[in-house]
Amino acid sequence: MLPTPDWSAPWFAPWRDIGPALFGRVAAGATVATALNEGGAPRRFVQPDAVPAGEAYEAFIARTAGVPTRDNLHDLFNGGVWHLQPALKARLNALQAAAIARDGIGPVRGPTRDALTRFDEHGALLVAPTGVRQTLLAALRQKDWAALFVEHRRLWRQVQLQVFGHALLEQLTVAPRKSLTAFVFDGDALTAAENDWVRHRLLPLPVAGVPGWHAANHDPAFYADARVFRPPREGKCPFVLQVQGSDTT
């Protein structure tokens, strides 16, 4: 049995129309792939052994339109995001597959695939009127948490932070905690070219800071915890994200 999310939590607002039914099918005995294939699925969800030996996961999806899916919470959330955000998932997959076709599979993914994977696993979409979004992004770029969450707190009434990353959704279900961090793309993720992802435009956003997402964040002192709300590194651009992931992880 998979753990049942608390659908009343603010981060599950986009899931309330599809989540209970998906989880209900699995609870009734369906495999995760079967549960995801019902209700007009944007892709076919297949068993993980459908991937030929030596073919990368992302390349297989691009070639076959089939998404290898294990019977676990992580892959159920991944498939659910395909239902909720099919165009953006397809765009990320296309960029991943193109990078694999060009560069092959090596000991590390490389900067493009690192950024795409980080967003796919832990990304979030900051949906707001243009002026509001630009004001909040300006504070987020500088890691100015007081401006972002205290001075501009009223602006969050016009914001929907939509969690895109399936790994982050999994953690919000099984181990919600103050340190959980989403990555917001500084631009339009749907239309961004490969070079835009290479430019390290992923902005770390501790989701517990979002008004209404943690019971204690009404107190400005909540944001003084530098272990979570970290200041910019001295001498470094505050929004540069440096990661080196491996295809074996």
Q: How far apart are CA 147 and CA 223, in angstroms?
A: 11
Q: What is the pLDDT of residue 234?
A: 64
Predicted confidence (pLDDT) per residue in 146-158, tens digit: 999 999 999 999 9
Domain map of the chain by residue range? 13-105, 115-224
Lowest-pLDDT range of 106-110, 188-192, 213-217: 106-110
Predicted confidence (pLDDT) per residue in 42-101, tens digit: 999 999 999 999 999 999 999 999 999 999 999 999 999 999 999 999 999 999 999 999
Predicted confidence (pLDDT) per residue in 208-243, tens digit: 999 999 999 999 999 999 999 999 876 444 433 333
**pTM of the entire structure?**
0.91
Q: How far apart are CA 105 and CA 140, in angstroms?
A: 34
DSSP secondary structure of 112-139? HHHHHHHHHHHEEEEE--HHHHHHHHHH
Rounded to the nearest integer, the mean pLDDT of the chain is 92
| Torsion, CA 243, CA 244, CA 248, CA 249, rounded to 10 | -20
Give yes or no for a contact between 160 and 84, defined as CB atoms under 8 angstroms apart. no
Q: How far apart are CA 110 and CA 118, in angstroms?
A: 12
Q: For the residues 148-175, what does the mean pLDDT come to?
A: 98
Q: What angle do CA 228, 165, 214 make, to 5 degrees?
A: 40
Q: For the residues 1-21, what does the mean pLDDT come to?
A: 96
Q: What is the pLDDT of residue 105?
A: 82
Q: What is the pLDDT of residue 233?
A: 77
DSSP assigned state of 177: -
